[in-house]
């Protein structure tokens, strides 16, 4: 595709052939099982070796050096490509290195279209690349389908970057509609599927050319790996991405790949529990007097609800909400929580709460935060798989702390 198209030096990281007859749960539970010829290990072994012996002079085996290719990383890549319906995957050292890798497909003068409420790290990377004139950038509200489609037809971008649901406001982009317009305009369509995971959304089936993941999140699912992945629909694109991954040295470590494949095997059961809990928590927030707005695509009032219901399986487990409280009361709520840990990241089995304005999206300027709708009273929940009643009691404890503080202030005021 790009004029700089390099000659591939290495094999693409995975050359899996999708097994159409099996469903996602079976594919990931069984991927690579019983393939160890050395000792008959049921689960494919972890190959940590950085280098691999040549068969003889001038004749290397399938692998020569782990930056370029590694059997454990290939297992993970193959499993992920299978569930995302891609021709293969490149496993990277983080979600951001996956994002960076995809931007290598752009050249100076190419236009990237993205939504301004994308993940703060993507916002920072795209903006910095534009300052270096690596490519041009146009922010668009991609969740507004008609307006965006018109702009895409007029601007003829090289790439359209979709994040749906978006971070942190859970806006929904109609992937099929935007992808069709973008493809007709000659653009590559990339979907960051981190928030849904392949258990909840398969963007290639909706028209995407490339899927990006921070595998740090739902795919690994246990908050003990930082990793990323790029899945390509087209083998030629996969080859080009694999070349760049090796060239830039941003491939993921074998150990992280081993862990993340283990996580992927249980994704669908975790996902079911995550999203059931999220539905109950969104209902609680909706009725709380201390909540102004709830952003959760599972609520019928959410503007993207119908699109989400059509293109997703379930509504995920990320919820954002605005406290009906002063900025000073936000820490009172957060400090009273015992189960929701105040921390960046998402998608682990444990519940987390984040304050996007000062944490995940702190790299955005005030103006950009305002444009994206990120206020100082906005909180984001990553709902875990703990017992839902414990999670509800924890949030109620946070609201009670605000009320107690208000009552205390009133008493002090009277005295
Ligand atoms: C939607 C999205 N994309 C990409 C990333 C970057 O991933 P990582 O932190 O693994 O580099 C994140 C991280 O939070 C994210 O939420």
Tokens of 288: 């709380």
Residues 319 and 204 in one domain: no
Establish if 6 belongs to a structural domain.
no
Please give the positions annotated as active site: 67, 119, 192, 217
| Residue 70 CB less than 6 A away from ligand 1 | no
Instruction: Answer yes or no: is the C-beta of 71 below 6 A from any ligand 1 atom.
Output: no
Q: Last residue of a domain, which of 215, 231, 265? A: 265
Q: Write out pLDDT tens, residues 110-168.
A: 999 999 888 889 999 999 999 999 999 999 999 999 999 999 999 999 999 999 999 89
Give the mean pLDDT of 279-304: 98
Which ligand 1 atom is nearest residue 226's CA? 10
Q: Which of 223, 239, 265 is the last residue of a domain?
A: 265
Same domain? For 301 and 402 the reply is yes
For residue 86, give both structure tokens: 């891609």
pLDDT for 11: 53
Q: Answer yes or no: do 206 and 132 share one domain.
A: yes
The tens digit of pLDDT for each residue in 158-216 reads 999 999 999 899 999 999 999 999 999 999 999 999 999 999 999 999 999 999 999 99
Is residue 12 in some structural domain?
Answer: no
What's the number of domains the chain is made of? 2
pLDDT at residue number 363: 80
Q: Is 121 in the pocket of ligand 1 (CB under 6 A)?
A: yes
Domain with 351 in it: what CATH number?
Answer: 3.90.1150.10
Asked whether residue 312 carries a pLDDT value surpassing 80, the answer given is yes
Same domain for 127 and 41:
yes
Q: Which residues pair with 159 in a beta bridge?
A: 112, 188
- Residue 315 CB contacts under 8 Å (≥ 6 apart), including other chains: 200, 275, 278, 279, 296, 297, 298, 308, 309
pLDDT band at 5 (very low <50, low <70, confident <90, very high): very low
Beta strands in 331-377 (DSSP E): 341-342, 352-354
What is the CB neighbour count within 10 angstroms for residue 339?
18
Q: Are residues 48 and 100 in the same domain?
A: yes
Closest CA to 5 of 230, 241, 246, 188: 241
First and final CA of the chain: distance in angstroms? Answer: 74
Q: Are 196 and 312 in contact (CB under 8 A)?
A: yes
Is the per-residue pLDDT at 256 higher than 90? yes
Contact 337, 391 (CB under 8 A): no
pLDDT for position 137: 98
Rg (CA), the chain: 22
Residue closest by Cα to atom 8 of ligand 1 = 95
Residue 44 binned pLDDT confidence (cut-offs 50, 70, 90): very high
Q: What is the mean pLDDT of the chain?
A: 94
User: Where in the sequence is the domain holding 37, given as residue range(s)?
Assistant: 24-265
SS3 content of the chain, % helix, strand, coil (to 5): 40, 15, 45
Q: 81 and 171: one domain?
A: yes
Question: What is the pLDDT at residue 371?
Answer: 82
Angle between helices 175-184 and 145-155 (to 10 degrees): 20
Kindly state the DSSP code that residue 302 receives in the 8-state scheme: S
Distance CA 175, CA 159 (A): 14
**CATH for 248:** 3.40.640.10
Residue found under tokens 């691999």: 52
Whole-number pLDDT of residue 18: 45
93 within ligand 1 shell (Cβ under 6 A): no
Nearest protein CA to atom 15 of ligand 1, as residue: 119
* Euclidean distance between CA atoms 343 and 363, whole angstroms: 16
Residues 247 and 277 in one domain: no
Model pTM score: 0.93
pLDDT for the residue 13? 58
Identify the domain boundary among 245, 265, 285.
265
Two structure tokens written together for 103: 């931007």
Can you tell me which atom of ligand 1 is nearest the CA of 118?
A: 1
Is 349 part of a structural domain of the chain? yes
Question: Does any domain span residue 19?
Answer: no
Q: Does residue 367 or residue 138 have the better pLDDT? A: 138
Q: Tell me if 69 CB under 6 Å of ligand 1.
A: no
pLDDT-based confidence at 362, cuts 50/70/90?
A: confident
Give the pairing of strands 291-295 and 228-232: unpaired
Percent of the chain residues past pLDDT 70, beyond the cut: 95
Rounded distance from Cα 45 to ligand 1 centre (Å): 28
């Amino acid at each position: 595709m790009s004029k700089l198209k390099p000659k591939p030096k290495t094999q693409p990281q995975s050359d899996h052939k999708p097994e159409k007859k099996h469903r996602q749960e079976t594919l990931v539970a069984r991927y690579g099982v019983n393939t160890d010829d050395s000792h008959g290990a049921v689960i494919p072994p972890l190959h940590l070796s950085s280098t691999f012996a040549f068969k003889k002079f001038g004749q290397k085996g399938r692998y020569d050096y782990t930056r370029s290719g590694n059997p454990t990383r290939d297992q993970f890549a193959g499993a992920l490509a299978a569930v995302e319906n891609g021709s293969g995957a490149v496993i990277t050292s983080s979600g951001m290195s996956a994002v960076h890798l995809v931007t290598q497909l752009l050249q100076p003068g190419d236009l990237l279209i993205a939504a301004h409420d994308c993940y703060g790290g993507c916002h920072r990377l795209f903006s910095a690349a534009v300052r270096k004139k690596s490519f041009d950038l146009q922010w668009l509200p991609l969740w507004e389908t008609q307006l965006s489609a018109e702009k895409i037809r007029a601007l003829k971008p090289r790439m359209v970057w979709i994040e749906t649901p978006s971070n942190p406001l859970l806006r929904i982009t109609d992937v099929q509609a935007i992808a069709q317009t973008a493809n007709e305009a000659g653009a590559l369509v990339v979907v960051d599927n981190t928030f849904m995971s392949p258990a909840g959304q398969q963007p290639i089936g909706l028209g995407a050319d490339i899927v990006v993941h921070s595998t740090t999140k739902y795919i690994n699912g246990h908050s003990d790996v930082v990793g990323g992945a790029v899945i390509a629909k087209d083998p030629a694109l996969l080859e080009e991405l694999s070349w760049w991954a090796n060239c830039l040295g941003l491939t993921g470590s074998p150990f992280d790949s081993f862990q993340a494949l283990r996580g992927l095997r249980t994704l669908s059961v975790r996902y079911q529990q995550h999203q059931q809990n999220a539905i109950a928590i969104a209902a609680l927030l909706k009725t709380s007097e201390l909540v102004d707005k709830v952003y959760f695509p599972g609520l019928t009032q959410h503007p993207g609800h119908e699109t989400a219901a059509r293109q997703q399986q379930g509504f995920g487990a990320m919820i954002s909400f605005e406290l009906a409280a002063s900025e000073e009361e936000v820490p009172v709520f957060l400090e009273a929580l015992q189960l929701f840990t105040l921390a960046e990241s998402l998608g682990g089995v444990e519940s987390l709460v984040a304050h996007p304005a000062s944490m995940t999206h702190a790299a955005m300027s005030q103006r950009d935060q305002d444009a994206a709708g990120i206020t100082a009273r906005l909180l984001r929940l990553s709902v875990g798989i703990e017992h839902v009643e414990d999670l509800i009691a924890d949030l109620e404890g946070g609201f009670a702390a605000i009320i107690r503080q208000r009552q205390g202030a009133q008493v002090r005021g009277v005295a």
